[in-house]
Structure 1
Amino acid sequence: MTPQVTDERPPRRPPVDPPTAPPLVERDAEQRLLTDLLTSLHAGRPALAEVHGTPGTGRSALLERAAELACDAGVRVAAAQASWEETRLRYGVAAQLTTAIDPTGIALPLAPGQDDADHTAALCHAFLTAARTHPLMIVVDDVHWADPHSLRWLRALARRLPGTPLMLLTARSGATPAGPDDHLRPRAVDDGTAVTRHTLHLAPLSADGVDAVLAATLRTPVDPAFRDAAARATDGNPAVLRAVAGRFARHGWAPRADHLPQLGDSAVEAIRERAVRTLTTLPGELLDVLRAVAVCGQDATCDLLGAVAEPRTVGTRRALELLSGTGLLTGGDRPAFREPKAADVVLARMSSDRREELYARAAEHAHRAALPDAALAGMLLGARVLGAAWAVDVLRREAARHRATRRPAEAARLLQRALREPMAPHLRVRTLTELAAAVLPSAPEAADRHLRQALLTPADATAGPAWVRAADLFVARGDVAAARPLIADLAARNELREPERGALRALYWLSEHVQPDTTHPLDRPPVPALPDRPAHPAEAAVAAWRAALSGHDITRTRQLARAALAPSAADTTPLAAQVTACHALVLTGDFAEAHAGLDTVLLRAEHADARAVAGATLVTTALARLHEGRPAEASRALDRAQELMPPHCWHPSTTSLLVALKTLIYLQSGNLDGAERSIGLARAGCAEGSIGWAYLLFARGRTHLATGRRDRALADLLECGRLLLTRQVANPALLPWRSAAATARGDDPHDTAAAFLMAEERRLALAWGAPYAVTRTLLATGESGEIGEPGPPADPAAPAGWQYRQALTTLATAPLSGTDTIAPLLRSRAPAADGPAGPERPATADAPAADRGPAPRGGLTGAELRVANLAVQGLANRTIAAELSVTPRTVELHLTKVYRKLGIQGRPELADALGRVPREKS
Structure 2
Amino acid sequence: MELFGRHAEIAALDRLLNRAADGAGAGLMLWGEPGIGKTALLEHAVEAASDATVLRCRGTRMETGLAFAALHELLWPVLDRLETLAAPQAAALRGALGMSRDPANRFLIGAAVLSLVSGLARERPVLVVVDDAQWIDEATVQCLVFVARRVATEPVAVLLTGHEDPASGPWESVPALEVGGLADDDARRLVAAVLPEADPGRVDRTVRAAGGNPLALHELPTLDRETGGEAAHPPPGALAPVGPRLRRAFYVRAEGLKPSTRALLLLAAAEGRGDRHVVHRAGAGWGVDTSSWDEALRSGLLHASGVRLDFRHPLVPAAIYDGAPLPERQAAHRALAAALPPDATTERAWHLAAAADGPDEHVATLLEHAAEQCLRRSAAPIAARTLCRAAELSPEPADAARRLAAAARAAWDAGHAGAARQLLQDAERLGGVLPVVRLSGGLRGILEFTHGMPERAHRYLLCDMAVVPRTRRAVELGTVAVRAAWSAGRSDLQREALRRVRAVDTDDDSAVSGLMPVLRNWWSCYDETGDVTPTSADLTSDTVGRLGTAAWELLPPVPLVQVWGVDGGLIDVLSLQAAQLRRRHELTALALVLAQISVLDTAAGRWDAAALGAAEGLRLAEEVGAEHLAVQSRSALGMLAAARGEYRGVDEHTGRVLQVSVPRGVRAFTASAYWLRGRAALFDGRPQEALSDLRCLAEPGHEAAHRTFALLAAVDTVEAAAQVGSGDVVEAQVAMVEEWARRTGATWARTAGHRLRAIVERGPAAEESFRAALAVTGAGAHPFEYARTRLLYGEWLRRARRRADARSQLAAAADTFNRLGAEPLRARALREQALTDRRSAPHDTGPSTAAGLTAQELRVARLAADRLTNREIAAQLLISPRTVGHHLTNVYLKLGITNRAELARIDVDGDLRLDST
TM-score (norm 2): 0.54
Q: Is the 8 A contact 2:641 2:647 kept in 1?
A: yes
1:455 CA drift (Å): 8.2
Match of 1:660 in 2: 635
CA distance in 2, matches of 1:520, 1:773: 26
The structure-2 alpha-carbon separation of the partners of 1:507 and 1:877, relative to structure 1 and needing over 3 Å to count, comes to: closer
The structure 1 residue matched to 2:321, chosen from 347, 354, 357, is 347
Is 1:502 the equivalent of 2:475? yes
Where does 1:663-742 land on structure 2 (aligned, <5 Å)? Answer: 663-684=638-659, 685-722=662-699, 730=707, 735-742=711-718
Match of 1:881 in 2: 813
Where does 1:459-858 land on structure 2 (aligned, <5 Å)? Answer: 467=441, 472=446, 475-476=449-450, 478-493=452-467, 496-515=469-488, 529-531=500-502, 537=515, 540-541=518-519, 544-545=522-523, 547-548=525-526, 550=528, 553-555=533-535, 559=539, 562-563=542-543, 565-566=545-546, 570=549, 573-578=550-555, 580=556, 585-646=561-622, 649-652=625-628, 654-684=629-659, 685-722=662-699, 730=707, 735-747=711-723, 751-780=727-756, 803=772
Q: Is the 8 A contact 1:605 1:613 kept in 2?
A: yes
CA distance in 1, matches of 2:393, 2:186: 59
Match of 2:391 in 1: 419
Where does 1:397-476 land on structure 2 (aligned, <5 Å)? Answer: 397-398=373-374, 401=377, 403=379, 408=381, 412-422=384-394, 423=399, 428-438=404-414, 440=416, 444-450=417-423, 467=441, 472=446, 475-476=449-450
Match for 2:389: what amino acid?
R
1:346 CA drift (Å): 0.7
CA distance in 2, matches of 1:246, 1:867: 95
Write out per-residue CA displacement over residues 550-578 of structure 1, whole angstroms, 9 at most, x where no aligned residue: 386344586367447527x84xx432213
Match of 1:357 in 2: 330
1:683 CA drift (Å): 3.6
Write out per-residue CA displacement over residues 688-742 of structure 1, whole angstroms, 9 at most, x where no aligned residue: 342122111211222333445545433422322236999996457x743334333
* Pair member with larger Rg: 1
The structure-2 alpha-carbon separation of the partners of 1:363 and 1:376, relative to structure 1 and needing over 3 Å to count, comes to: farther
Aligned-CA RMSD value: 5.5
1:241 CA drift (Å): 13
1:633 CA drift (Å): 2.8
Q: Is the 8 A contact 1:724 1:730 kept in 2?
A: no
Match of 2:250 in 1: 275
1:365 CA drift (Å): 1.7
CA distance in 2, matches of 1:239, 1:411: 49
CA distance in 2, matches of 1:694, 1:726: 8
CA distance in 1, matches of 2:580, 2:569: 17
1:295 CA drift (Å): 0.6
1:316 CA drift (Å): 3.1
CA distance in 2, matches of 1:496, 1:561: 31
CA distance in 2, matches of 1:764, 1:880: 29
1:639 CA drift (Å): 1.3
Is 1:317 the equivalent of 2:290? yes
Is 1:912 the equivalent of 2:905? yes
Instruction: Choose between structure 1 and 2: higher helix proportion.
Output: 2
1:374 CA drift (Å): 5.1
SS in 2 for 1:496: coil
Match for 1:803: what amino acid?
A
CA distance in 2, matches of 1:426, 1:706: 55
Write out per-residue CA displacement over residues 638-684 of structure 1, whole angstroms, 9 at most, x where no aligned residue: 112123322873344x5444333222211223434433443344443
Q: Percent identity?
A: 14
1:349 CA drift (Å): 1.5
CA distance in 2, matches of 1:306, 1:875: 86
The structure 1 residue matched to 2:825, chosen from 890, 898, 904, is 890
Match for 1:432: what amino acid?
A
Q: Is the 8 A contact 1:540 1:561 kept in 2?
A: no
1:879 CA drift (Å): 3.2
Q: Is the 8 A contact 2:278 2:340 kept in 1?
A: no
Q: Is the 8 A contact 1:377 1:395 kept in 2?
A: no
Q: Is the 8 A contact 1:742 1:757 kept in 2?
A: yes
Is 1:328 the equivalent of 2:301? yes
Write out per-residue CA displacement over residues 255-292 of structure 1, whole angstroms, 9 at most, x where no aligned residue: xxxx9x96578568888676233123234443233212
Q: Is the 8 A contact 2:301 2:311 kept in 1?
A: yes
Q: Is the 8 A contact 1:622 1:635 kept in 2?
A: yes
1:624 CA drift (Å): 1.2
Write out per-residue CA displacement over residues 787-817 of structure 1, whole angstroms, 9 at most, x where no aligned residue: xxxxxxxxxxxxx9953586799xxxxxxxx
CA distance in 2, matches of 1:682, 1:632: 22
Q: Is the 8 A contact 1:565 1:581 kept in 2?
A: no
Match of 2:39 in 1: none
Match of 2:167 in 1: none
SS in 1 for 2:370: helix
Q: Is the 8 A contact 2:684 2:824 kept in 1?
A: no
Where does 1:51-200 land on structure 2 (aligned, <5 Å)? Answer: none
Write out per-residue CA displacement over residues 374-402 of structure 1, whole angstroms, 9 at most, x where no aligned residue: 57647746855543222322245347658
The structure-2 alpha-carbon separation of the partners of 1:310 and 1:468, relative to structure 1 and needing over 3 Å to count, comes to: same
CA distance in 2, matches of 1:240, 1:601: 67
1:597 CA drift (Å): 0.7
Match for 2:618: what amino acid?
Q
1:489 CA drift (Å): 3.4
Q: Is the 8 A contact 1:290 1:323 kept in 2?
A: yes
The structure 2 residue matched to 1:394, chosen from 370, 375, 378, is 370
CA distance in 2, matches of 1:415, 1:242: 53
SS in 2 for 1:553: coil
CA distance in 1, matches of 2:319, 2:652: 52
The structure-2 alpha-carbon separation of the partners of 1:393 and 1:687, relative to structure 1 and needing over 3 Å to count, comes to: same
The structure-2 alpha-carbon separation of the partners of 1:334 and 1:647, relative to structure 1 and needing over 3 Å to count, comes to: closer
TM-score (norm 1): 0.54
SS in 2 for 1:779: helix
Q: Is the 8 A contact 1:472 1:575 kept in 2?
A: no
Write out per-residue CA displacement over residues 831-853 of structure 1, whole angstroms, 9 at most, x where no aligned residue: 99x98996xxxxxxxxxxxxxxx
CA distance in 2, matches of 1:354, 1:601: 50
Match for 2:752: what amino acid?
R
The structure-2 alpha-carbon separation of the partners of 1:518 and 1:872, relative to structure 1 and needing over 3 Å to count, comes to: closer
1:768 CA drift (Å): 2.0
1:619 CA drift (Å): 1.3
Q: Which runs of 5+ in 2 are unaligned?
A: 5-183, 222-245, 507-511, 761-768, 779-785, 833-855, 870-899
CA distance in 2, matches of 1:772, 1:240: 85
1:581 CA drift (Å): 7.2
CA distance in 1, matches of 2:219, 2:318: 12
